[in-house]
Amino acid sequence: EAIVSFNTAIELKSDFVEAHYNLGVALYALDRYEEAVDSYNRAIELNPNHVKAYNNRGNTLKQLGELQAAVNSFSKAIELRPDDVAGKVNLIETLTEYTPDHHQKSLIILVHKQIQAIETSYDANQKINDGEVINLFKKFSYVLKKNQFKTMIGSSQIYRRKLIELHCKRHMAIF
């Protein structure tokens, strides 16, 4: 029903950006990803500064397995709005699954690659001691400072959502 309404709005006013954007949202919810990408593309064509359209297009491209295109879309969202948390989270989550083949100009991609390159050696079946955690945190902090990358990270626990189960015995003993 929403799709019919958005299509009607587009028929009445073909340059109605939000109708194209919301049509993309509705199509995505129905797993009609190719059509959703087309709707987001049209919204972006009409408004090249539509940050949410870039983010949602990136998520849709990710669902289609087009990870490089998704990275590009998230990067554009961050370029348009550097303080956009959703774009940064989407980009980081995508980069945990995919490493771009070519050099990217995006600072967040550069920093991500440098952090991935930090060598760690620990036994997943043993407790991590405080010194190892502090040493790893210092290495990460050095990479961030070296690249003048500003974060909103305080003293809270950091982990990869969906990738690491934190309810194991090892984590319960540490935290």
* Separation CA 62–CA 56 (nearest Å): 10
Average confidence score pLDDT of the chain = 82
95-147, pLDDT tens digit by residue? 887 766 554 566 777 777 788 788 777 677 777 778 888 888 888 888 878 87
- Cα dihedral 120/164/115/79 (nearest 10): 180
Instruction: Report residue 118 as tokens.
Output: 């930090």
Mark out the alpha helices in the chain (DSSP H runs).
2-12, 17-29, 33-46, 51-63, 67-80, 85-97, 107-116, 130-146, 169-174
Cα angle value 30/31/35 (rounded, 5°)? 95
What is the pTM assigned to this prediction?
Answer: 0.60
SS3 3: helix
User: CB of 91 within 8 A of CB of 60?
Assistant: no
